[in-house]
Amino acid sequence: MAPVELTHPSLYINRELSQLEFNRRVLEQAMDPRVPLLERLRFTTIVSTNLDEFFEIRVASIKEQVGFGLPQVGPDGRTPQDALRALKEAAQKLVREQYLFLQQQLLPALAAEGIRLLKLYTWTPEQSAWLEDYFDREVLPVLTPIGLDPSHPFPNIQNKNLNLIVALAGSDAFGRDSGTAVVQIPRSLPRLVFLPPNVADCPHGYALLGSIVTTFVHKLFPGMQVRGCYQFRVTRDSELWVQEEDVEDLLNALKGELRTRNFGDAVRLEVSDTCPPEMAEFLLSKFDLQPDDLYRVDGPVNLHRLAAIYDVIKRPELKYPPFIPGPRRTPGAEIDLFAELRRGNILLHHPYESFSLVLELVRQAARDPKVLAIKQTLYRTGADSPMAEALLEAARAGKEVTAVVELRARFDEAANIDLATRLQQAGVTVVYGIVGYKTHAKALFIVRREDGRYRRYVHLGTGNYHSVTAQFYTDFSFLTCDDAIGEDVHNVFMQLTGLGTVPRMNKLLVSPFTLMDRLIALIDREAEHARQGKPARIVAKLNALTEVKVIEALYRASQAGVSIDLIVRGVCCLRPGVQGVSDNIRVRSIVGRFLEHHRIYHFHNAGEEVTYGASADWMSRNLLRRVETAFPIEEPALRARVVTEGLTTYLADNTQAWELQTDGSYVRCAPTPPDEPRPAQETLLRLLSANQGAAQTQRQILEDLLVRQDMLE
């Protein structure tokens, strides 16, 4: 057989199509009758939210390439034009399946549980009277209809806002008869309106705001005849562009860009399926879109708004059962975390184990008179962040506090600008990282004076310092006072805040300097071990795999005989199972209750195992255009936990796992009798949470995990 060129397009899956495949897996989770009903609704709305971002960023980028006539060809050999056609076709199919499921399965199942959507034209007289009163009182006063004529041009429609286009007949008081008007629904109005049970004829009856305004829209046009009223929604390019090298103040530059985000170039138009062709064509022309940019939907165009039902309806039997994050602690007992870290490193597995311990470390540092300085990277923290409050407390207590705030964290820019401003006002030294490189590393650094010397305490993580997402993102936290790692993290912060050459690191791998080269060297070393007849194994868990050089290295390792398992939640451009190239590579994705988020790199290394936790996926942006860290887990007991909890448990999953096929599709795993179901997330909940009846001692957990570690051998 002739040697295969490892850059051949046939060996690569299109990035955008792979991303749509991930959303298909999320939709399949919604369709799974084993999932609690309100969780199925939540997964359905997550698909819509994901698709919004997909169009705002990925589709917008490809459209821009097409518009500029760029001849750029992706690793899969597709031109931007080819990629755009393929992804639009796949997206249209996915949206049709989503709304078909909504109408035929999800809404009827919700209605059977007393959660009813009161659809347009099905209201009883009592319901109609109640909703009309609501419209007159709460909605009508804030609506501003725009009749289209030469003095009222087509309005500038905001990104993802709900709108109505209205067909009218007759003339108004000024003799105008343009026949068309637009009604923009203010975002200040709730999109779901819940009726009293006695009016709704069910425990939880609700109507969509779009349906309410459609029904009573004639009140906005007195004396005229409404011939039709149709929902529409436009998605716009939402990427922010700031020439960082040319601005003196990145914060103020981003503030200016945020004002224009809602009015970027249109990339998608959604309309209700009842919208006449001529009206849809009119809207397409106004947004400079093509027919294949039109998405007709049988239901609300702002489907993601149904997510509010999950929070409003208190029906625990229709949701995942609650759990108490471990480790189990005595109520009211406070642990001296500095003393604990001097006794040994700490590993936490979120959300099964509480993120509050990390937060408590910062709070203790803020109150401790021996602590002199705290430094932290902040990528996403959320509104009203407890972590930010802890940093503010430290600054007010006179500590030297430094925060590296990444202003360009996509869709969190406004929150991070607000956070940076609050921190600065409290005396925190705030910097925004490196021009041209996002700071995505997750690092906390505390300097404490002990016995006449300085000791460094460090937290490194695979996730963000975000107390909310820590409750449903799977991540590892590593806390240590190891001198070598402390020196490395100190040097990372020196790079982020100051100037200087690349320092020599003791243990950390840092992008954009050492991480990429070292990663490929580790993969190549496994290949060399395989060629020498030694055991060779690579297992990695990632959110995405797109970097061509890394994929080439994995192909070379597979050809050499290395056994490779990749657990990739979302986008994966590597094509497994290609004869002579990737026969030894298997790829799976886990979709479940929690969002799989941790990054773990594990290499057998002829028995001298090497395991890293990391903030970086194997993507070009993470390895070449961001500041990222990968940290070694060297202590045998902690490495055993990372390997078994983060890798082998997921490789054993035969319930929530999807296996990537050579053609780019995914097949869901299912237990084969007599095998029992082994859902990874449920297994970890039983092992690590502090729920009564499920709690185990750390010794019991470790013994169980060490037995299962044999799967990696």
- 24 pLDDT exceeds 50? yes
Type of residue found at 654: N
**Can you state the percent helix, strand and coil of the chain, rounding each to 5?**
40, 20, 35
Residue 704: what pLDDT? 46
Q: Which one of 3.30.1840.10, 3.30.310.50, 3.40.190.10, 3.10.105.10 gives the CATH number of domain 9-318?
A: 3.30.1840.10
Largest CA distance in the chain: 90
Q: Is 380 annotated to bind ligand?
A: yes
Q: What is the dotted CATH code of the domain comprising 510-712?
A: 3.30.870.10
pLDDT digits (tens, 9 = 90+) for 475-516: 999 999 999 999 999 999 999 998 888 889 999 999 999 999
Q: Is 295 annotated to bind ligand?
A: no
Angstrom distance (rounded) from CA 298 to CA 271: 9
Q: Is 569 annotated to bind ligand?
A: yes
Angstrom distance (rounded) from CA 667 to CA 181: 47
Residue 695 confidence class, pLDDT cut points 50, 70, 90: very low
Domain 510-712 in the same topology as domain 337-507: yes
Residue 426: what pLDDT? 85
- Other CB atoms closer than 10 Å to residue 95's CB: what's the count? 21
Q: Average pLDDT of 421-433?
A: 87
533: left (phi over 0), alpha (psi -120 to 50) or beta: left
Our measurement of the distance from residue 238's CA atom to the centroid of its chain's CA atoms, rounded to an integer in Å, reads 16
Which residue has tokens 């919604």? Answer: 30
- Other CB atoms closer than 10 Å to residue 504's CB: what's the count? 9
> pTM for this structure?
0.92
Which has the minimum average pLDDT: 97-101, 340-344, 389-393, 422-426? Answer: 422-426
User: Peptide bond preceding 316: is omega within 30 degrees of 0, i.e. cis?
Assistant: no
Buried b (16+ CB within 10 A) or exposed e, 37-60: bbbbbbbbbbbbebbbebbbebbb
Is the Cβ–Cβ distance between 522 and 601 less than 8 Å? yes
Residue 332 confidence class, pLDDT cut points 50, 70, 90: low
Is the Cβ–Cβ distance between 460 and 476 less than 8 Å? no
Bridge partners of residue 445, in order along the sequence = 375, 458
Which residue has tokens 């009827």? Answer: 108
Residue 703: what pLDDT? 45
- Other CB atoms closer than 10 Å to residue 710's CB: what's the count? 9
Residue 173: what pLDDT? 65
CA-angle at 308, arms to 306 and 312, nearest 5°: 130
pLDDT digits (tens, 9 = 90+) for 636-689: 999 999 999 999 999 999 999 999 999 999 999 999 988 899 999 999 999 998
Q: Is 601 annotated to bind ligand?
A: no
Angstrom distance (rounded) from CA 542 to CA 651: 13
Residue 501: what pLDDT? 84
Side-chain half-sphere exposure of 644, counting CA atoms within 13 A: 20
Residues in the chain, total:
713
Q: Tell me the backbone φ, ψ of residue 531, rounded to 5 degrees.
A: -65, -25
Q: To 10 degrees, the CA torsion angle through 192, 195, 197, 200?
A: -90
pLDDT digits (tens, 9 = 90+) for 114-154: 999 998 888 999 999 999 999 999 999 999 999 887 667 88
pLDDT digits (tens, 9 = 90+) for 259-309: 666 678 999 999 999 999 999 999 999 999 999 999 999 999 999 999 999
Residue 112 confidence class, pLDDT cut points 50, 70, 90: very high
Domain 337-507 annotated CATH 3.30.870.10 = yes
Q: To 10 degrees, the CA torsion angle through 456, 461, 466, 470?
A: -130
pLDDT digits (tens, 9 = 90+) for 381-394: 876 789 999 999 99
Which tokens is 197 given?
């049970």
Residue 213 confidence class, pLDDT cut points 50, 70, 90: very high
Is the Cβ–Cβ distance between 205 and 193 less than 8 Å? no
Strands (E), 254-345: 266-272, 294-297
Type of residue found at 199: V
Buried b (16+ CB within 10 A) or exposed e, 248-270: eebbebbeeeeeebeebebbbbb
Buried b (16+ CB within 10 A) or exposed e, 204-222: bbbbbbbbbbbbbbebbbe
> Measured in Å, how far apart are the chain's first and last C-alpha atoms?
31
Residue 334 confidence class, pLDDT cut points 50, 70, 90: confident
Which tokens is 412 given?
């969190």
pLDDT digits (tens, 9 = 90+) for 29-65: 999 999 999 999 999 999 999 999 999 999 999 998 8
Is the Cβ–Cβ distance between 244 and 435 less than 8 Å? yes
Residue 697: what pLDDT? 41
List the catalytic residues.
Answer: 440
Residue 709: what pLDDT? 44
Nearest residue to 32 via CA among 105, 117, 125 = 105
Beta strands 585-590; 563-568: pairing state: parallel
Q: Average pLDDT of 239-248?
A: 54
Q: Is 410 annotated to bind ligand?
A: yes
Nearest residue to 263 via CA among 380, 155, 347 = 155
Residue 239: what pLDDT? 74
Residue 706 confidence class, pLDDT cut points 50, 70, 90: very low
Residue 418: what pLDDT? 81
Which residue has tokens 């972590």? Answer: 387
Residue 705: what pLDDT? 43
Type of residue found at 235: T
Give the neighbor-by-neighbor strand order of the sheet with 145-147.
145-147, 180-184, 163-169, 225-236, 266-272, 294-297
Strands (E), 520-597: 537-542, 563-568, 585-590, 595-596
- 712 pLDDT exceeds 60? no
Residues 6+ apart with CB under 8 A from 80: 62, 65, 66, 70, 72
Q: Tell me the backbone φ, ψ of residue 291, rounded to 5 degrees.
A: -55, -35
Residue 335: what pLDDT? 86
Strands (E), 585-681: 585-590, 595-596, 599-603, 610-614, 626-632, 657-660, 666-668
Is the Cβ–Cβ distance between 231 and 212 less than 8 Å? no
Which has the minimum average pLDDT: 62-76, 466-480, 575-589, 674-688? Answer: 62-76
Beta strands 294-297; 180-184: pairing state: unpaired
Domain ranges of the chain: 9-318, 337-507, 510-712
Which tokens is 443 given?
């690092």
Which tokens is 325 given?
């994050």
Average pLDDT, the chain: 90
Q: Is 315 annotated to bind ligand?
A: no
Is the Cβ–Cβ distance between 232 and 302 less than 8 Å? no
- 612 pLDDT exceeds 70? yes
Residue 56: what pLDDT? 92
Q: Tell me the backbone φ, ψ of residue 703, rounded to 5 degrees.
A: -60, -40
Which has the minimum average pLDDT: 14-18, 24-28, 321-325, 409-413? Answer: 409-413
